[in-house]
Structure 1
Amino acid sequence: MRKHILLPILAALALAACQQGGEATGNAAADNAAEANAVVENGAVGNNVAAEVIAMNDAQRNVVFIRAIMDAGLKCDHVESSQRLDDQDGNPMWRANCSGGVAHMVTITPDGTAKIVSRTDR
């Protein structure tokens, strides 16, 4: 099974790391819309999300992987560990090991798309 997921949360994390605080309007819908617009603009300037994921520590990277796996509708309660594997089609790839022994292969493209390959027959 192969799932493709755009990781807006990853772009939001990258954007949050670059900003030094901001003003909240008190309106959650307006704040979410502003964040979504910021994410789109952030991606448009050419940030390499794959490089940002590579630079993350293991805990941060595993949070990105659990979010991508869950967004793909796959079962994973917790990513216990991840190992970097050989690049796939020029993009970095990891094995995300979930609690319970399930593993998913996660590839991140420069635009922030997560490609997840899972075997559900084992």
Structure 2
Amino acid sequence: MIRPLIAATILALPLAACGKPASEGGTASANITVPAGDYAERLRAMTDTERNAVFYRAIHDAGRPCQQVTEATAIPDVNGQPAWAATCEDKSRWVIILGNAGVVQVASAAELEAAGKAR
């Protein structure tokens, strides 16, 4: 059986609005109101420290292991959505895909690479 490659979490910017930790299913959500705006531009305008904190929260809320994001780099869009590669302190790598209305998808970079090789 093929497992879903992407665990989704709803993340509102700024960081102040945080969801609850995810269950085993890897999905978390928060009942929050997200102000209108260009989320990708807001992320790009943040300092590295601010953006790393936002990405940490997304990874954490998706139920994935990460104690701190140490590095995040913009990568080419994924299916037309802005994306970043984030690395945690334990060297685990995550792909953060920013969708409409501030919805963020978090995927393990290793799982995505393995899936790509399986094709």
Fold match by TM threshold 0.5: yes
Judging by fraction of residues, say which structure has more helix.
Answer: 1
Where do 4+ consecutive residues of structure 1 move more than 4 Å? Answer: 11-14
Task: Determine whether 1:104 maps to 2:94.
Answer: yes
Q: 2:7 aligns with which of 3, 9, 12?
A: 3
Of 109-118 and 76-85, the range deviating more from structure 2: 109-118
Looking at structure 1, the residues matched to 59 and 74 of structure 2 have their Cα atoms a distance apart, in angstroms, of: 16
Alignment-mate amino acid for residue 65 of structure 2: K
Larger radius of gyration between Structure 1 and Structure 2: 1
Q: 2:49 aligns with which of 40, 44, 59?
A: 59
Structure 2: state its 5+ residue gaps. Answer: 18-29, 115-119
Looking at structure 1, the residues matched to 48 and 99 of structure 2 have their Cα atoms a distance apart, in angstroms, of: 18
Q: 1:12 to 1:68 in 2, by over 3 A?
A: closer
SS at match of 2:101: coil
Looking at structure 2, the residues matched to 12 and 76 of structure 1 have their Cα atoms a distance apart, in angstroms, of: 17
Percent pairwise identity: 30
State the partner residue of 1:116.
Answer: 106
- Residue pair 1:50, 1:91 contacting (<8 A) in 2 also: no
SS at match of 2:51: helix
State the partner residue of 1:22.
Answer: none
Looking at structure 2, the residues matched to 12 and 80 of structure 1 have their Cα atoms a distance apart, in angstroms, of: 17
Looking at structure 1, the residues matched to 15 and 59 of structure 2 have their Cα atoms a distance apart, in angstroms, of: 17
Looking at structure 1, the residues matched to 41 and 16 of structure 2 have their Cα atoms a distance apart, in angstroms, of: 13
Alignment of 1:78-89 (within 5 A): 78-89=68-79
SS at match of 1:76: coil
Alpha-carbon RMSD across the aligned residues, in angstroms, is 2.6
After TM superposition, give the deviation of residue 13 of structure 1 in Å: 4.8
> Higher RCO, 1 or 2 (CA under 8 Å, sep at least 6)?
1
